[in-house]
Structure 1
Amino acid sequence: MNHITEIRTVGVPVRDQDRALEFYTGTLGFEVQLDVPLPQFGGRWIVVAPAGSGQGRASIALVPESEDNPAGVDTGIRMASPDAKAAHRHFLDTGIDTGELLEWPGTPPMFSLRDPDGNRLYISEL
């Protein structure tokens, strides 16, 4: 029997949840799916996802950093865009820490960017 059926939420450690929430919603255009106090966790349980993706789809939890879970990591999270070149230009123009646009034969255009805490995320074309 398969007890695991999907990947739901990936935690990204952040130093300031309010600043991170502004970046993920204001800059990346994500929607808040959940934002509740969680004092035993040292902050709130904040879950964001791409606009229109709906509940139950892959999401990101903006979790308070800790000694065992520091901010500023390569998250390994790959997100998709219908136009990676336009997204790359947009993030560069808005001053986001954005890596080089990679265009290799046989692969979709892709690039990386960093959130305000230095967490690396990736965007590739659909």
Structure 2
Amino acid sequence: MLLFAAATAALVATSPAVAQTGGDGADVRCLLVLQAIARDPKQQEQAGRGLYFYLGKLAARGASSRLEAVMLTEGQGLNSQPKNQAELTRCGAELNQQTNTLRAANTRIATRLGATPPTAK
């Protein structure tokens, strides 16, 4: 996690305050921790999937234009191992919940169609 701390510090020099919605900050913190985790080749694929999920959420709310400013602001709070781990746990729980929702929908649809459901990773 030292790599994570260094990566986060590099992203968050000084930043101006930025207006954001309640979800933007939480989703950007997920982006930051997942970017750091993605530097580990063993976790790169899974972290990459999560990055796209959170980028999609932010884009759907129109936050793409202010992404950099929000990243700088939110990254300042990710300055300790316990905070980083707490964010990773929160983001992982959300990703798992969404994956389970997709799996359940696939199973219901496959049952209705008499097919084998696809697997959601």
TM-score bracket for the superposition, by shorter chain length: under 0.3
Report the TM-score, using the length of structure 1 for normalisation. Answer: 0.25
Which is richer in helix?
Answer: 2
Q: Name the structure, 1 or 2, with higher relative contact order (CA <8 Å, separation 6+).
A: 2
Report the TM-score, using the length of structure 2 for normalisation. Answer: 0.26
